[in-house]
Amino acid sequence: MRAGIGVEEAATESPEDSTTSRHFGVYEIERREDGSLYELGHGGMGATYRAIDTTLQRKVALKIIRIGVATRSTEARERFLREARAAAALRHEHIATVFQFGICEETGQFFYAMELIEGETLEERVRRTGPLSVRTTIDIAEQVTSALVAAENRSLIHRDLKPGNLMLVSPDDEERGVPSVKIIDFGLAKALNAPVDAMQLTHDGFVGTPAFASPEQFESSTLDVRSDIYSLGVTLWFALTGKTPFGGRGFEEIRRAQQSDVLPLEQLKAARVPSHLRSLLKSMLAFEPAARPGTHELTAELQRCAAEARGERRAGIGLAAAAILVLGAAAFSILWPLASGHKSAAVAEKRPLGRPVLEKSIAVLPFENRSEDKQNAYFADGVQGEILTDLAKVADLKVISRTSVMQYRSGPERSVRRIGQELGVAHVVEGSVQRSGNRVRVNAQLIDARTDRQLWAQSYDRDLADVFAIQSEIA
């Protein structure tokens, strides 16, 4: 668990200074090999440590509330414990369980112990691997939304949803390939019916992380679940792009951006986010809470987005499969005479300077996306990727990797002969994909890279739903 992206909730003291004790009730903070306290993360409210329950002998995450907050007033202490009891009653598969709240008799500090999640935060995942796929992001959103529904049913909101508070656990089902999500720090939840001044728990009365906070959090207005939905929208934006929609490092900069700046939807388009999901994120980030979807509406919209993503992926695979059969037949017609001892006329020609060229070698160049909607570029990339996967199974055929050919996207300067020389291949596949509504056109051609001679070409124009029928037609 780490501090949030962007502006911290408040200036924080050193984690080592935030506690003078290792023991909080039955919990003992562990030490690292160098003797330092085993800190997992820290923020404006305090620091979180890895600890052990000395009674049950289980590992926990122990949150220590910094002294400045804990000693503010008797009312604050009572309010904290009241909210703590409500949060501790919350049980959900996507929320880290809170085990216990208490006050350290030695220091007077608040603390609470929660389930220790072994994994990495969403923030860490994106920093490590880059933006997530649309499919994975939607799956994460569905899991978090189901947790928000459960919290809303108990009149609770989180108030600090952000990538740093979403723990990702590697999936048991590797084929499914999506992580299980656990929301942490629900112990800081605020009861929906609490008075507005109950927010006075951190510096300047602000609870949360400004880069992910809703506009109403900046105004100390009454909050409901739609505040969490706004924060979830920013979190999903970050997952898809690696950025937050509104820049700025200070409270006022971010607040002004929320009020006056237009959402930079081009970031989502550049990340090839489907239009339905873009529209949903736009509604989640509406300035007025009333314009945002509720939890049940959000659940339904995410299901539609998931169905759309699955449908486009299946269609892309179908197109790729059809193209593979076409190109496989063409490759066979070229390679069969070679295997039988016949030689291409090009073999007799003097080879130009470049890498040594194997006769049985091929490169599949990136397919050109000719669709009006440029977000369909991933559709064209899927065709290329499936062709590469299939050709790689052909024995004794040298197939250039996708990474090596991605620099050769279509353009006026693209020369098949030069590409063949640079990659050391005898044959090149190139093509285009154009999708318009429910219609799709796939063009593909096989070229002798040594002579620029077209060996085979085919064009298919079909309804998207009929793409699998192309396979039978080819057969």
Of residues 164 and 340, the one with the higher pLDDT is 164
Whether residue 332 is found in the same domain as residue 278: no
Whether residue 34 is found in the same domain as residue 116: yes
Per-residue pLDDT of 321-345, as tens digits, reads 555 555 555 555 444 544 444 444 4
Q: How many CB atoms lie within 10 A of CB 46?
A: 26
What is the domain range of residue 346?
310-474
Whether residue 392 is found in the same domain as residue 421: yes
Last residue of a domain, one of 260, 293, 326: 293
pLDDT band at 293 (very low <50, low <70, confident <90, very high): very high
Per-residue pLDDT of 220-273, as tens digits, reads 778 899 999 999 999 999 999 999 998 766 777 888 888 887 899 999 999 999
Overall domain count for the chain: 2
What does the H/E/C string look like for 353-386? CCCCCEEEEEEECCCEECCCCHHHHHHHHHHHHH
Helix axes 134-153, 225-241, angle to 10 degrees: 170
Whether 304 maps to a domain, the answer reads: no
464: amino acid identity, one letter: L
Whether 5 maps to a domain, the answer reads: no
Q: How many CB atoms lie within 10 A of CB 34?
A: 5
Whether residue 182 is found in the same domain as residue 316: no
CATH, residue 218: 1.10.510.10
Q: Which two tokens stand for residue 328?
A: 């496989």
Per-residue pLDDT of 350-363, as tens digits, reads 344 445 577 889 99
- What mean pLDDT is reported for the chain? 77
Whether residue 330 is found in the same domain as residue 377: yes
Per-residue pLDDT of 34-58, as tens digits, reads 999 999 887 666 789 999 999 999 9
Which of 17, 34, 139, 160 is catalytic? The answer is 160
Active site residue 463: no
pLDDT band at 398 (very low <50, low <70, confident <90, very high): confident
Whether residue 43 is found in the same domain as residue 99: yes
In the predicted structure, residue 394 carries a pLDDT above the cut 90: no
pLDDT number for residue 132: 95
Give the list of residues 6+ apart from residue 256 with CB closer than 8 angstroms, or none.
Answer: 248
For the ranges 4-8, 28-32, 246-250, 457-461, the lowest mean pLDDT is seen at 4-8
- DSSP letters for 165-197: GEEEE--S-TTT---EEEE--GGG-EETTS-GG
